[in-house]
Each structure stands twice: as C-alpha cells, then as structure tokens.
A and B are shown apart, each in its own frame.
Chain A
Amino acid sequence: MSTDESAAAAPATPVLEAWEVFRREKDGDPMRHGGSVMAPDAELAIHYARELYGRRQESVRLWVVRRDDILDLDDPDLLQPPLDRSFKKPGGYVMRDKLAAAREQSGQAKPKARSK
C-alpha cells in the first residue's frame, strides 16, 4: 500500500505524547514519581494513569504532567560544581578528613567505639 493510499484510508493518527505520573501511596506521604504513560491528550492521559497507577488501590492521589511541560535542568556546572560545597550542607563541613589529619599530627589513635 502506498503512503498516499494509507493517508486517504485512515484519519490523521493522533500524536501520542508522554505524560509523567506522580502518585501518593497513602495520606501524608509525599507525591512520588510513579512512571509514565503515552496518550494523545490530557483526558486519556488521566484515564491511563488511573489504569496503570491506581486501579489496584495503590494510590490515593495522582498528578499527571505532560512531559514537555516539565522544566528540565541537568547542567552539571549548576548542579555538580567541581569545588567542595560541603559547607553549604545542613551538616556543615565534612570533618572526617580534618580530624584524621589532626590525629595523625598529634599521634593519637582513632578513638574506638564506646563499649557501652
């Protein structure tokens, strides 16, 4: 069958898009990414999300987002800069290496875990 014939015989094929599905497993839980579905529009995306991520009572809420609407950021210069950024972490500096160096300098052994 030529492409012209098939184009005449069939209506325009709907373009399938990817939709990302987030789900809440039980009240109080955060929304977590569950997976994705392919669907031609938002209405069927909701249906399919329900079928694939909710029909076994495994979710109490779903969010369905068109993948193209997600703002994507994966630039390593912004997310994984090469310098030590541990001072920006809630726990502060990583002390392990500094403590080890200080112990070595003073000749003390690493303290053992408390026995009690």
Chain B
Amino acid sequence: MTATAALPTTALAGLLLAMADDEFVIGFSDSEWTGIAPLLEEDVAMSSLAQDEIGHAAALYGLLAELTATDPDAIAYDREPGEYRHCRLLDHGRGDWAMTIARRYLYDTADSVRLDALVGGSWTPLAELVGKLVREERYHLMHAGTWLDRLARTDGEARDRLLAALADLGPDAATVFTPLPDEPALLDAGIIAADSAELERRWRAAIAPTFGRLDLPMPPAAREPERGRQDHGQEFRWLWGEFTMVRRSDPGAIW
C-alpha cells in the first residue's frame, strides 16, 4: 500500500461513494425483475447480474468504510435519499424491459470506461478490486449488448420501446461522468488516469460504432451536468423506501 500521507482521503472517499452508490442502485433496481423477467432463463440471468452489482457495491462500501473508519451497512442504508451520490441516469426506474436494457447498456458501457481508468491506479486496494470488477463486468457488457442489439433490430414494438427508453434516458446518460468533488487531487495522486470530461469522450467514442450500426440516436450532452449526482427525484425516493425498509423496521438490530 502506498504511503497514506499523500492520500487525498476526501476526494478518494467521494470517488468510492459515487461508484458504490451507482452499483448499489442499479443492482437493487434490476433485482426487481426477479420472478417477472421475460423468460425463466432471463430471470436467472438478470437476477444474477443484479446480485453481482450488489456484490460490487458491498466491496466498494467496504473500502470506503475502511478509509473513513465507518460501517459499510450504515453507509449503504442509513443515509437520507438526498445524500446518495449515484448518477441521475439511475434515478430512472426499471420501467419496461427496453428501459431496463437501455439503462443497463448506457451504464455498463460508461462504468467500463471508468473502471479502465482506475486499473493500475496508485491506491492499491482500489486498483486490486477494480482488476476483479473488470472481469465480471465483461459478461455484463455482453449481456446488455446482446439485448440492445436484438431490441434495436426487431422492428415494431421492440424497437419503438427501445427508442422511447433512449429518448427518456439520453439527457441523463452522461451523468455517470459528473465531475467528482476535488477531482484534480485524484489525478495528481495517480488514483484515476483521466478526468471526467476525458472519460466521457472515451465513452462516446466507445458506443458510437454500436449506435451507428443500429441507427440509434447518440445520447445528448447531460442536462445540468454539474448536478448529475444530486437532486434524486421521486422514483429514487420510492426505491430508497424499498431498500431501507427492513433496516429501518428495527434500527440497530444485529442480523
């Protein structure tokens, strides 16, 4: 582990919180398909992906808890809805299957660009974890890409629903790359290899061939980009109520 003297703890905590909240929220939201996915096999697949994301969130909350000497469960469950730092893309509920696929494709491609910029970073605990996450996310990308492809190429209801989902999500898609608080400190310390603006350029370059081939509209620039990880709306408040319900039913209980 590198010397902690030079570690920009606050900036690093902000990065970990943003990543963990992203994984936690999409994982929990996608888990709502358990039991009602389009077919049994897909039900297993989507539930397994959702579980993976919750696992990634747990690992990231764990690092954050060690860094800040707090409790990972408390970070995950004991905040008010306004204190979560996931991107606004994930404030959109799971919607229909096309919405879930579009959200997952946009998020997974963006997350993949972000992870690639963290591989080999100077803070060993995160760099090591990211090395593992990247391997699991490969399958997530395959799954989302397969479904995006088939919805886009099936004229009629499938393509119409996908286009509607992309129109709805588009203006929030790039919020994954909302600049983090004190981002320059992360760059200076070598924890992340590029700033948010550069990561967004890489992401757009990465998805452009697919969007071109499938004749889909590229996501526009994010609206209110500086507030992309704040102002969570009513849909997230509902989800928050769901995922904190058991914890709030008996505060402090040991499970």
Interface residues of A (CB under 8 A from B): 9-11, 16, 37-39, 43-44, 47-48, 50-52, 55
Tell me whether B44 is interfacial, beta carbon within 8 Å.
yes
Tell me if B's interface is mostly helix, strand, loop or mixed. helix
Q: What is the chain B residue whose CB lies nearest that of A44?
A: B146
A109 to B165, CA, bound (A): 85
Q: Evaluate contact between A48 and B41: CB separation under 8 angstroms.
A: yes
Q: Evaluate contact between B41 and A52: CB separation under 8 angstroms.
A: yes
Tell me whether B142 is interfacial, beta carbon within 8 Å.
yes
Q: Evaluate contact between B39 and A16: CB separation under 8 angstroms.
A: yes
Q: Evaluate contact between B158 and A39: CB separation under 8 angstroms.
A: no
A37 to B41, CA, bound (A): 7
Tell me whether B42 is interfacial, beta carbon within 8 Å.
yes
Tell me whether B247 is interfacial, beta carbon within 8 Å.
no
Tell me whether B45 is interfacial, beta carbon within 8 Å.
yes
Tell me whether B139 is interfacial, beta carbon within 8 Å.
yes
Task: Tell me which residues across on chain B come within 8 A of A52, comparing CB atoms.
Answer: 41, 44
Q: How many residues of B contact A (CB 8 A)?
A: 15
Report if A47-B146 is in contact (Cβ < 8 Å); known contacts: A38-B39, A52-B44: yes
Tell me whether B246 is interfacial, beta carbon within 8 Å.
no
A72 to B212, CA, bound (A): 44
Task: Tell me which residues across on chain A come within 8 A of B45, comparing CB atoms.
Answer: 47-48, 51
Tell me whether B143 is interfacial, beta carbon within 8 Å.
yes
Question: A38 touches which one: B40, B139, B154, B158 (CB < 8 A)?
Answer: B40
Q: Evaluate contact between A55 and B48: CB separation under 8 angstroms.
A: yes
Tell me whether B156 is interfacial, beta carbon within 8 Å.
yes
Minimum CB–CB distance for B158 against chain A, Å: 6
Residue interface mask B127-166, A partner, CB < 8 A = 1: 0000000000001001100100000001011100000000
A50 to B48, CA, bound (A): 11
Knowing that A10-B157, A11-B157, A48-B45 are A-B contacts, what are 4 other residue pairs whose CB atoms are under 8 Å apart, sorted by A's residue number? A11-B156, A39-B41, A51-B44, A52-B41
Q: Evaluate contact between B142 and A47: CB separation under 8 angstroms.
A: yes
Task: Tell me which residues across on chain A come within 8 A of B39, comparing CB atoms.
Answer: 16, 38
Interface residues of B (CB under 8 A from A): 39-42, 44-45, 48, 139, 142-143, 146, 154, 156-158
Question: Can you give 23 contacting A-B residue pairs, CB < 8 Å?
Answer: A9-B157, A10-B157, A11-B154, A11-B156, A11-B158, A16-B39, A38-B39, A38-B41, A44-B41, A44-B42, A44-B146, A47-B41, A47-B45, A47-B142, A47-B143, A47-B146, A48-B41, A48-B45, A51-B41, A51-B45, A51-B48, A52-B41, A55-B48
Counting chain B CB atoms within 10 Å of each CB, the highest count among A37, A47, A52 belongs to A47
Minimum CB–CB distance for B160 against chain A, Å: 10
| Closest 8 pairs between A and B when the two form their complex, measured CB to CB | A48-B41, A51-B45, A11-B156, A51-B44, A11-B157, A37-B41, A55-B48, A51-B48
Minimum CB–CB distance for A82 against chain B, Å: 43
Task: Tell me which residues across on chain A come within 8 A of B139, comparing CB atoms.
Answer: 50
Task: Tell me which residues across on chain A come within 8 A of B48, comparing CB atoms.
Answer: 51, 55
Minimum CB–CB distance for A33 against chain B, Å: 18
Task: Tell me which residues across on chain B come within 8 A of A37, comparing CB atoms.
Answer: 41
Minimum CB–CB distance for A12 against chain B, Å: 9
A52 to B45, CA, bound (A): 8
Q: What is the chain B residue whose CB lies nearest that of A37?
A: B41
Minimum CB–CB distance for A47 against chain B, Å: 6
A62 to B157, CA, bound (A): 34
Task: Tell me which residues across on chain A come within 8 A of B157, comparing CB atoms.
Answer: 9-11
